[in-house]
Structure 1
Amino acid sequence: MNSERWKKVKELFDAVVELEPDERARYLDRACESDSGLRSDVDKLLSSFQDSDGFLEEPASNHVASAILESKAMLKPGDRFAHYKILRQIGVGGMGEVYLAEDEKLDRRVAIKILNERFGKNDSHLQRFIREAKSASSLNHPNILVIHEISVDEDASFIVSEFVEGRTLRDLIGESELTLDRVLDIATQIAGALAAAHGAGIVHRDIKPENIVVRPDGYVKVLDFGLAKLLKPKDQFLSSDDATAIHNPTAQGVIMGTVNYMSPEQAKAEAVDERTDIFSLGVVIYEMLAGSTPFQGSSLSETFANLINAEPPAFGGKVSGVPDELQRIVFKALRKDRTERYQTSDELLADLKSVKANIAFDEKLGRSHESNSTEILLGPTNENLDPNTNIENAPGTNLRWIAFVLVAVAAIGLGYYFYAGRPNVGANERRSLAVLPFTNATQDANAEYLADGVSESIINNLSQLSGLKVMSRNSSFRFKNDQSDTRAIASKLNVDTLVTGDIKQIGDKLVINVRLIDVGDDSTIWGNQYAITISDVLAAQNDIAQAVARNLQVKLMPSDAALLEKRYTQNVEAYQLYLRGRFHVFKLLPDEIRQGISYYQQAIDLDPNYALAYAGIADAYRSLAVGSEVSPPDSLAKSKAAANRAIQIDDSLSDGHTTRGMTLF
């Protein structure tokens, strides 16, 4: 939907949202008489806004708001509730009240959340209350609130949790100047908590500053799993009835969460997964850095429109010195299309830690330079020399110059000794890299094509970067069956870094482990695990290539970034067929090559503009011609025709040009 369309929808929504249903219908009948699609869009937005059964906490639905207004403290300081002594009320919300209390059995302070009577009688609200306790109590992570006890009965339903002394992130954003270091520290802790929750199959669905508490010592706690959704039915802390209730999709038209921090799929009442929390965390980080949320409008409908249709504006100046890499991370988390976001919280966490480490390193380096500069300035000067004294003959001057020269020579010799004998990156040299074929960790030979194909795709992506020398597939795949001695492999390939990894396929799920290795000391520069579905493999490959370039600090030209994200097809099934084709063709046996051509053709049937598949057919027919398995003129003609078609679709495709060039000689 374009911006003009959204403007019309928003205007009509604002005009009728406060009208009675009958009057609203008549108004829309007149306004949308000739445009049924417009009427449908307005009805959908109205349906989402009318929170009939769920909780839209900010702004609250009418029945929730009235409950808050009517609510009175159920307990007073000094009252006893079970074995808890009430100290004071510390919060009130649509579902109930929160008290600070003393646990008289264990002599500790706790927080008690009591469901009020009105919502305790509503089964869906009660289930949400229970779900919050069970979701949070199943998690064991230092950045997630600890649940001590839950009780549900006719008299009262309550949750007892640890009491966190501190301030909400909302308070910090509103009242203090957040530094870049503190923003990154808070963001990494939240991402760590989400990674733990997502690893247990739980999506929070309501990440916002009000649900994040920062203790005085800087420790972060993520609160309120009241909107949490279970992703996996196998969680042991649930009964079968609970699991059934939780897995029921959200009712049509019910929006769960807080508008400014919702993901686009939440705003449209679509199914959500862990990428929803990643989007919401992106909003929170953006707000910490910019001082405002990226999609906030002057009205609820405008916020919805911005959330679904608008791109986030560039950062303001609330926090100074925000590096470009952190902006890239935040904007990637805020992608409208969830397949273009970070696919796991672990990926986001790794990138945030990387930025944090780079900033710390730069600061340390800066302090080191300042220290060295200070030492030079504090060294011997000519201030106390007699004006008539010849500097060259000044006492001690010659000795100082001799000492300086000796130190310089020693430094040069030490540098040569340290760097000689292993691949090194000189001032005018590019970083050198080999991507070794990923290991097939699946006990199924049929998955071998995927391991090879992902490795080759990463090679192709990285080899397009002008600032990086990448070894060819043929060179790297010589070590497919033995990667035990990485230093020896790097020496033979004459590279200073290696990418290694493994892939495990379970049904339509993939787990990809990847490492970037500095062969000088065999240390890991960067590593990550990608737990994805097969449909996300294209995005994962691009992410790996980008992470490698980023961690090698390759200077990217403007065109390089686009090349790293380039996809030759959006059809995942066509891509898999292409990988199968490559796998068979590279066996270099006539029957295998013909099988590969068949797979390429199937890929083209699914995506007629798949230039890489045409290039694959061109290369396969050239291989058959070289092997004289078919008439060379016939196969070369087919090779040339396929190469021409590949170039016609994508003139920048080197594979097409290379194969066509070979057919001419």
Structure 2
Amino acid sequence: MSSPNASVSLPLQNETGICPKCGSASRVGRSLCLNCLLSAGIDTNGDGTQAEETLDDLLGKIDGPDTDWHLGNYQILEEIGRGGMGVIYRARQRHSRRVVALKRILSCHADSRETLMRFRREAQAAANLDHPNILPIYEVSESEGLPFFSMKFAGGGSLLEAAPMLRRDPRRAVALMAKVARAVQYAHVQGILHRDLKPGNILLDGGGEPLVSDFGLAKWLQPNSDLTRTPSIFGTPGYIAPEQVNGSNGNLTPAADVYGLGAVLFHLLTGRPPFTGEHALKVIQQASEKPAPKLRSVAPALDRDLETICAKCLEHEPQARYRSAGDLAEDLERWLHGHSIVARPVSPPVRLWRWSRRNPIVAGMAALLLALATVVGVMTWKAETAARPPRSGIAILPFESLSPEKENAFFADGVYDGVLTKLAKVANLKVISHNSVAKYRGARDTKEIGRALNVTYVLKGSVRRE
């Protein structure tokens, strides 16, 4: 226990009523988080060292009177969550006094074979996994004809509740997602796809460690498993891979979960999923038809390497993403340690090729227009070439005087003028004027001079007076 003089730091309640530190909705007055207040008083000693017992340990030891409602061997304490399929309670196991989370199917779904299958799928999938970052299942049972299972109680809320705080701390968000990716990789190695990764399904324990939960849509990779026969429910729009939307559930690979991990990371870093819309169908349509937005187009201050990592996870084509969740975890860890990441931005030609595969009609029309423009360009060039008159005529370069006397240069110019006058009298012979060729005096490359003056012949000469 802490001494009365111990100094503790307590977070103020945010506008939504959820504590940004622990995710609890309990509070004292209108500002202090009750869970943090009790934890600060119990979890540390007066000298600032960590106490041997935590708040969760002490709650588990409380031997209060049983309430009137029990489910099997569990005393129901309070309801902490409810969804379309089931309800979750905080409960205490009566003999061990351990506080757990207990999930029970809603009575209105008791006759739904599909919902019962999904509920049992979640319990079966999670019970086969033993990883520090996967929410463990303690017991699967049934009461009053309704199945339920108990699991570890995660008192820190979920990533959905922690997202506003994590957006201000990208390194913390990346560190959490690296651990989540490791857990998902472990599930894949065990032959299980999650298929519904989203911030609300990743919980935080009392120490802030992530726990992957809700395997209700899990699918065994082995074709002979009972979990291969999955219901028509396909996940949460905004976080599921395009191939899940397009009816490819039977052919899903671990790349589908890599997409989900990238979508969750995108949300934590920007405060929103990659695709948003007025309703679920709009979100699904965008994810199917458009490439995911660039991370830095939403949050320009973020690091470019994080944008590259998210972009690789959110590639439309499964084979273009990280080969495994483990590869993603390694790149996130490289970024955390300041090392170069493996992922690289997609080059413009590859991006154009992928766009053409997604939009074959538009790409075909563009290719047709390009081909037509090329043909018109070639025809125009040929017409201009045919209309251009062939080169003809002669250019006479100023004669060079080889005599050492300077006055002999005038003699060379006189000979040059005489030759020029004689040739100008030849019928049908074009002779380039003296002014046009004067600048080429002393030039050596007669072919280049001929092309420049558009003549067939170039005459060079020298004069020596004896």
* Equivalent residue, structure 1, for 2:202: 212
Is 1:260 equivalent to 2:244 in the alignment? no
Is 1:190 equivalent to 2:180 in the alignment? yes
Q: Which runs of 5+ in 2 are unaligned?
A: 1-65, 354-466
Verify the 8 A CA contact 1:129 1:226 in the aligned structure 2: yes
Q: Aligned partner of 1:192: which letter?
A: R
- The within-5 A match list for 1:198-347 is 198-233=188-223, 243-244=225-226, 246-248=227-229, 250=230, 254-271=232-249, 272-316=252-296, 321-347=301-327
Higher RCO (CA-CA < 8 Å; seq separation 6+): 2
- The within-5 A match list for 1:567-646 is none
CA distance in 2, matches of 1:301, 1:162: 35
Verify the 8 A CA contact 1:255 1:269 in the aligned structure 2: no
CA distance in 2, matches of 1:566, 1:351: 26
Task: Report the alpha carbon displacement of residue 215 of structure 1 after superposing the two structures with TM.
Answer: 3.1
Verify the 8 A CA contact 2:294 2:311 in the aligned structure 1: no
When residues 306 and 320 of structure 1 are mapped into structure 2, their CA distance, relative to the original with a 3 A threshold, is: closer
Is 1:161 equivalent to 2:130 in the alignment? no
Q: Aligned partner of 2:234: which letter?
A: M
Task: Report the alpha carbon displacement of residue 178 of structure 1 after superposing the two structures with TM.
Answer: 3.2
CA distance in 2, matches of 1:176, 1:340: 28
* Equivalent residue, structure 2, for 1:131: 121
CA distance in 1, matches of 2:223, 2:248: 19
Task: Report the alpha carbon displacement of residue 180 of structure 1 after superposing the two structures with TM.
Answer: 1.4
Task: Report the alpha carbon displacement of residue 189 of structure 1 after superposing the two structures with TM.
Answer: 1.3
CA distance in 2, matches of 1:143, 1:101: 22
Q: Aligned partner of 1:294: which letter?
A: P
CA distance in 2, matches of 1:307, 1:138: 32
CA distance in 1, matches of 2:97, 2:286: 50
Verify the 8 A CA contact 1:168 1:214 in the aligned structure 2: yes
CA distance in 2, matches of 1:321, 1:217: 29
CA distance in 2, matches of 1:354, 1:565: 26
Give the TM-score taking structure 1 as reference length. 0.40
Please, which of 157, 161, 184 is the counterpart of residue 171 of structure 1? Answer: 161
Task: Report the alpha carbon displacement of residue 346 of structure 1 after superposing the two structures with TM.
Answer: 1.1
Task: Report the alpha carbon displacement of residue 175 of structure 1 after superposing the two structures with TM.
Answer: 5.7
Q: Percent identity at matched positions?
A: 31
When residues 94 and 354 of structure 1 are mapped into structure 2, their CA distance, relative to the original with a 3 A threshold, is: same
CA distance in 1, matches of 2:97, 2:279: 48
Q: SS of 1:129's equivalent? A: helix
CA distance in 2, matches of 1:193, 1:178: 24
Q: SS of 1:313's equivalent? A: coil
Q: SS of 1:99's equivalent? A: strand
Task: Report the alpha carbon displacement of residue 288 of structure 1 after superposing the two structures with TM.
Answer: 1.1
- The within-5 A match list for 1:342-361 is 342-358=322-338
Q: SS of 1:143's equivalent? A: coil
Task: Report the alpha carbon displacement of residue 117 of structure 1 after superposing the two structures with TM.
Answer: 2.2
CA distance in 1, matches of 2:145, 2:233: 30
Task: Report the alpha carbon displacement of residue 81 of structure 1 after superposing the two structures with TM.
Answer: 2.2
* Equivalent residue, structure 1, for 2:411: none
| Structure with greater helix share of residues | 1
* Equivalent residue, structure 2, for 1:11: none
* Equivalent residue, structure 1, for 2:73: 83
Give the TM-score taking structure 2 as reference length. 0.56
Q: Aligned partner of 2:311: which letter?
A: F
When residues 155 and 564 of structure 1 are mapped into structure 2, their CA distance, relative to the original with a 3 A threshold, is: closer
CA distance in 1, matches of 2:319, 2:265: 20
Q: Aligned partner of 1:304: which letter?
A: I
CA distance in 2, matches of 1:169, 1:77: 31
Verify the 8 A CA contact 1:180 1:320 in the aligned structure 2: no
CA distance in 2, matches of 1:176, 1:142: 21
Q: Aligned partner of 1:327: which letter?
A: E
CA distance in 2, matches of 1:138, 1:285: 26
* CA-based RMSD: 2.9
Verify the 8 A CA contact 1:180 1:321 in the aligned structure 2: no
Task: Report the alpha carbon displacement of residue 233 of structure 1 after superposing the two structures with TM.
Answer: 4.9
Q: Which runs of 5+ in 1 are unaligned?
A: 1-75, 235-242, 360-525, 527-545, 551-555, 568-665
Task: Report the alpha carbon displacement of residue 127 of structure 1 after superposing the two structures with TM.
Answer: 1.5
Q: Aligned partner of 2:243: which letter?
A: E
CA distance in 2, matches of 1:566, 1:124: 42
Verify the 8 A CA contact 1:179 1:319 in the aligned structure 2: no
When residues 127 and 162 of structure 1 are mapped into structure 2, their CA distance, relative to the original with a 3 A threshold, is: same
Q: SS of 1:259's equivalent? A: coil
When residues 140 and 566 of structure 1 are mapped into structure 2, their CA distance, relative to the original with a 3 A threshold, is: farther
When residues 295 and 153 of structure 1 are mapped into structure 2, their CA distance, relative to the original with a 3 A threshold, is: same
Please give the per-residue CA displacement for 1:116-136, whole angstroms capped at 9, x wherever unaligned.
Answer: 222122222111111111100
Please give the per-residue CA displacement for 1:560-588, whole angstroms capped at 9, x wherever unaligned.
Answer: x6799999xxxxxxxxxxxxxxxxxxxxx
CA distance in 2, matches of 1:86, 1:154: 15
CA distance in 2, matches of 1:334, 1:278: 8
* Equivalent residue, structure 2, for 1:115: 105
When residues 294 and 563 of structure 1 are mapped into structure 2, their CA distance, relative to the original with a 3 A threshold, is: closer
Verify the 8 A CA contact 1:335 1:341 in the aligned structure 2: yes
